[in-house]
Structures are given as structure tokens and as C-alpha cells.
Amino acid sequence: MPNVTAASGRLVLAATPLGDARDASPRLATALAEAEVIAAEDTRRLRALAAALEVTPTGRVVSFYEDVETARLPKLLEELHAGRTVLLVTDAGMPSVSDPGFRLVAACVAEDLPVTCLPGPSAVTTALALSGLPCDRFCFEGFAPRKPGERAKWLKTLAGEPRTAVFFESPHRLAGTLRDAAGVLGDDRRAAVCRELTKTYEEIRRGTLAELADWAEAGVRGEITVVLAGAEPREVSVADLVGEVADRVAAGERLKSAAAEVAAATGVSQKELYDAVLAARRA
């Protein structure tokens, strides 16, 4: 374990408003004013937020977006080892959640440097709460894959997922993703599209995948979060799933991983399913 002196600083992950600056916590305003170093995904947005909160940052402000994240790590770690507080903020919501931050947190953990968090707004939980879909169990899928083949493969992993799923999508790809989802998961799967959360033109659209795909065809703008209902429980046998695993293998997946994912989604024995696929090949 690396040696850490009593003078070591700490990394503070701070959630920022999704759109309305009034959602900022008093702790965030104080942290912006007092942090010795502020690592911001977009320095212009940071300064706009500080102005809206009537706060003047006194610390050094550095950019910390995806393309420079790795290059910035050594200097930020030096600041922390020197005893300074580094505040990490992204454009909206919680750092590390499909935003810069994970690499810095992991580096701090590896060097035994303190990390804490100022909780606050999150598009994931906000959309989930507004969706009208079950919230007791859910999974977060990040951004939907851009390439059609990868997106189809990803959607197949959600076919038997019983938990409500939340993911981000860009507005110009939304219609295509919803249409693909309807094709893989069924036209009647329920979903919600949450647009511009907490902003002036906030809009929540709820319906089936087919209905939402039709609506999105006309064009959608803004920040998009999609909430997808989980799969209905189904009674299946190992024999019923052999073809599904075979299709995934034909699409390029390894047999072992395909069998594992299908087994996990349906509750059957992975070994029995794997053996059944091998038996079907021999037959």
C-alpha cells in the first residue's frame, strides 16, 4: 500500500444540476468557492454555474474531459499528495457515471488517497422515478452502442433482463435505437423517453417501444435518457433456449459467454444449457 502522509488532500466528486442551477446544494456552492483545484469537464460551463450560484472560485481551474483525462491524472495526483483539495465536476449529474471521473477515482484508490462525494442530481434516478416503471430493481447501461450490429447484440442481452433498464442516447440516434429495440424486444415492451430533465422544455414520453419509435421519427432535441421496462417472467426449459444461444454464437459470440448470459437472464443451469447446445451440434 502506498505511503500517504497526514498532509494528503482529498478528491471530492460533486454532482452538478442537470439544467436548473437552483438544484445545486449549498455544499456544492461552498466547495466551488473553497476548493484549491477544480477539475471541470467544461470550464465554461463551470464558470456559468458558479456565476448562477453567485460564487467566485478561488482555486486553480483545469479542464478534465475525456480526451485529456489520462494526461491530467499525474498532476492532479501530485496536488492531492501535496495536501490540496481537488473538486471534480462534470457538465451535469454525477462524475464517473458515463462522464469523466472513473480513472481519477481508481488512481486515488490505488494510491490510498481519500475520496469523498457531494451527492446531488442524477439523470439516471430522476428518469427512473418519472418513468412510471418499476423502480425497486434497475440496471444502468450507459450509452447505447452506436453501431447497428453492436446495438442489436446489446439489445439481445436485455431481452430476458427482469430489471428496469436505464440508458442514455443521443437525439439523432433515438428513433433508430427505439425501432431496433422494438424489433428485438417486441413492439409492446413499455418504455419512457425523458428529454431535457429539469430544464425549460422538459418532456416525458411514456408508451410502448413501437409508439415511442413513431413519435421520435419526427426528430427529437436535447439530452435524452431512456427507461426500459424489464422482461416479463417466462417459463422456459433448457431445450427452449438452445436456438437462442446458437443464434448468438452465429452472430459472433463465444459459446461459453452466450450460454452464460442466456442462463443468467432466464434462470436455467448454465452447464445444462451449454451441454444441450453441444449435444444439438453433434445431432
For residue range 42-99, list pLDDT tens digits in order. 999 999 999 999 999 999 999 999 999 999 999 999 999 999 999 999 999 999 999 9
Which residues lie closer than 8 Å to 155 by C-beta, 6 or more apart?
Answer: 180, 181, 184, 185
The CATH superfamily label for domain 124-228 reads: Tetrapyrrole methylase, C-terminal domain (3.30.950.10)
Q: pTM (2 decimals)?
A: 0.80
pLDDT of amino acid 2: 39
**Per-residue model confidence as pLDDT tens digits over 202-240:** 999 999 999 999 999 999 999 999 999 999 877 778 888
Tell whether the model's pLDDT for residue 1 goes beyond 60: no
Q: For 150-174, what is the mean pLDDT?
A: 95
pLDDT at 5 over 50: no
Task: Kindly state the average pLDDT of the residues 28-43.
Answer: 97
102-149 confidence digits (pLDDT tens): 999 999 999 999 999 999 999 999 999 999 999 999 999 999 999 999
Average pLDDT score over residue span 254-282:
89
User: In the chain, what are the domain boundaries?
Assistant: 10-121, 124-228, 238-282
Q: Residue 99 is which amino acid? A: D
**Architecture of the domain delimited by 10-121:** 3-Layer(aba) Sandwich (3.40)
